[in-house]
């Protein structure tokens, strides 16, 4: 593409279609930055402030590890995530049991801000703990363990105990899944208000697993910190829109039981108190998004960018009125907008707990490798996440700007009492 044509593009107000066509020709690395779009964005009043995360669930920054449920599921979101999936290399169930017993003991210490175990101080041996969190506070860290469908193959004699909701996720229209970002026998989600504290925990759990399990993939993630937004307003994704406005109020036990927690009456009983985690690594074509108009962006989400309110409303948490029409008889909120499709007529809900990610640059395209590490929890993904995602994948306007490149469904085990271990209801 010659220089004159690039200059013409830079001075032109591009439509979404224009941007997509250009990306197909030369790659987003050729696109100019967002500076020329600044004049198109008009300031609006400040967003509604709501409290969604605080230290009220912890004492001195410590969130208890032991309990009926694993922490890190309905726990108010921390600022950072470090998630890793493992493939089990052990060949005997006894070795797997030993691994989870060791992980449980280590996780309980780590969430209290301690080293992974007591040091021997033997100068001839490697330190027990890797040391990068020495002197650091617990930072509300939680560690959550889950099992993938592949864990229930023929290796450990547990095939008959595979939970029915732990299905193989179907292919969705927007999928371009990469092997290196998909699946895993075990997932470990570490969340904390400090990225080094979170990384330290996953690193040391991987050390403990040596000889029994190996890392398959690792993804870091972030959201705005509590220091940057002490009001705790709904975080924004990398497209600039609030993400999670419609989350259910799982601080209410009845709502959590209905939406998140597997019940003793569900199949299997050993999952009672657990939940099912869906992970989707969603690559955003953010350079293209940055070239689209504000009207186009708001139509795509069905919400106002500044306030997070549904289109035609002023408050982030105002009721969606999907049947409301404008003066020409057109829906105020487009029927193919993200919020309209995800609403599922108000009958299906999931608990979103996602983080933005940035993994540098894609050297093949010159684009930023950035997007959303989508994480959600639900009681039965066959009735919640899967039908919702099928609807979104079929018609969501947002699909023009995103690609799902990683995926996983995991059965997050019930919690454990002190002296017990995560997984004891199964093996």
Measured in degrees and rounded to the nearest 5, phi and psi for residue 310 equal -55, 145
Measured CA distances, 170 to 284, 376, 406 (Å): 21, 17, 13
Cβ atoms of residues 343 and 322 within 8 Å: yes
Measured in degrees and rounded to the nearest 5, phi and psi for residue 58 equal -140, 160
Separation of alpha carbons 375 and 412, rounded Å: 12
Count of Cβ atoms closer than 10 Å to residue 395 Cβ:
15
- Name the more confident of 206 and 40: 206
Separation of alpha carbons 416 and 11, rounded Å: 60
Lowest-confidence segment of 49-53, 230-234, 239-243 by average pLDDT: 49-53
In sequence order, the β-bridge partners of residue 277 are 377, 410
The closest alpha carbon to 78, from 228, 262, 223, belongs to: 223
pLDDT in tens, 5-25: 434 444 444 444 444 444 433
Where are the alpha helices (H) located in 343-397, listed in sequence order?
385-395
What's the mean pLDDT in 235-253?
Answer: 96
27 token code pair: 């790659």
pLDDT in tens, 324-354: 999 999 999 999 999 999 999 999 999 999 9
Lowest-confidence segment of 83-87, 119-123, 134-138 by average pLDDT: 119-123
Residue 285, SS3 per DSSP: coil
The pLDDT-based confidence of 60 (bands split at 50, 70, 90) is: confident
Does the structure show a pLDDT above 80 at 76? yes
The answer to whether the Cα torsion of 280, 281, 284, 285 is positive or negative is negative
Cβ atoms of residues 107 and 423 within 8 Å: no
- Which helix (H) or strand (E) covers residue 169, if one does? none
Cβ atoms of residues 73 and 339 within 8 Å: no
- Name the more confident of 28 and 62: 62
pLDDT in tens, 170-213: 999 989 999 999 999 999 999 999 999 999 999 999 999 999 99
Give the mean pLDDT of the chain.
89
What's the mean pLDDT in 118-129?
Answer: 93
Residues recorded for the chain: 427
pTM of the model: 0.86
- Which helix (H) or strand (E) covers residue 207, if one does? helix 195-208
- Name the more confident of 21 and 131: 131
Question: pLDDT value at position 15?
Answer: 45
Count of Cβ atoms closer than 10 Å to residue 251 Cβ:
10
Does the structure show a pLDDT above 80 at 283? yes
- Name the more confident of 219 and 20: 219
Task: Give the pairing type, strands 142-148 and 186-192.
Answer: antiparallel
Task: Give the pairing type, strands 402-412 and 367-378.
Answer: unpaired
Separation of alpha carbons 63 and 75, rounded Å: 9
Separation of alpha carbons 181 and 174, rounded Å: 15
In sequence order, the β-bridge partners of residue 188 are 84, 145
The closest alpha carbon to 359, from 408, 286, 289, 409, belongs to: 286
Pseudo-torsion of CA 416, 421, 425, 426, nearest 10°?
140
The closest alpha carbon to 250, from 65, 62, 72, belongs to: 72
Separation of alpha carbons 234 and 48, rounded Å: 9
Whose tokens are 């709501």? That residue is 50
The closest alpha carbon to 337, from 354, 320, 356, 350, belongs to: 320
Question: pLDDT value at position 56?
Answer: 59
């Amino acid at each position: 593409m010659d220089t004159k044509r690039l200059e013409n593009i830079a001075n032109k107000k591009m439509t979404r279609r224009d941007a997509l066509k250009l990306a197909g020709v030369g790659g987003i690395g050729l696109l100019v930055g967002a500076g020329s779009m600044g004049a198109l964005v008009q300031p609006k009043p400040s967003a509604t402030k709501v409290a969604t995360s605080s230290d009220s669930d912890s004492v001195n920054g410590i969130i208890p590890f032991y309990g009926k449920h694993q922490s890190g599921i309905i726990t108010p979101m921390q600022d950072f995530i470090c998630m890793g999936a493992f493939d089990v290399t052990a060949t005997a169930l006894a070795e797997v049991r030993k691994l989870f017993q060791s992980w449980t003991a280590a996780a309980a210490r780590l969430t209290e801000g301690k080293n992974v175990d007591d040091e021997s101080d033997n100068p001839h041996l490697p330190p027990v703990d890797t040391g990068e969190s020495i002197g650091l506070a617990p930072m509300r860290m939680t560690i959550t363990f889950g099992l993938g469908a592949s864990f229930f193959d023929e290796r450990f004699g547990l095939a008959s105990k595979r939970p029915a909701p732990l299905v193989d996720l179907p292919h969705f229209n927007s999928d371009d899944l990469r092997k290196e970002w998909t699946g895993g026998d075990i997932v470990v989600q570490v969340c904390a208000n400090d990225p080094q504290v979170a990384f330290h925990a996953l690193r040391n759990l991987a050390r403990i697993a040596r000889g029994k399990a190996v890392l398959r993939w690792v993804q870091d993630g972030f959201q705005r910190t509590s220091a940057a937004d002490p009001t705790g307003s709904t975080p924004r994704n990398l497209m600039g829109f609030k993400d999670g406005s419609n989350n259910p109020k799982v601080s209410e036990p009845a709502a959590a039981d209905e939406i998140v927690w597997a019940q003793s009456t569900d199949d299997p009983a050993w999952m009672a108190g657990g939940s099912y985690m869906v992970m989707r690594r969603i690559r955003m074509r953010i350079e293209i998004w940055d070239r689209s108009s504000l009207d186009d962006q708001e139509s795509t989400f069905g919400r106002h960018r500044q306030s997070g309110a549904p289109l035609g409303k002023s408050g982030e948490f105002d009721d969606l009125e999907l049947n409301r029409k404008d003066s020409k008889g057109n829906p105020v909120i487009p029927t193919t907008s993200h919020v309209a499709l995800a609403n599922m007529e108000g009958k299906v809900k999931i608990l979103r707990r996602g983080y933005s990610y940035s993994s540098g640059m894609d050297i093949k395209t010159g684009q930023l490798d950035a997007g959303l590490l989508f994480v959600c929890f639900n009681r039965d993904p066959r009735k919640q996440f899967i039908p919702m995602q099928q609807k979104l994948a079929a018609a969501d306007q947002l699909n023009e700007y995103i690609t799902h490149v990683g995926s996983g469904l995991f059965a997050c085990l019930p919690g454990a009492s002190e002296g017990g271990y995560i997984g004891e209801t199964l093996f």
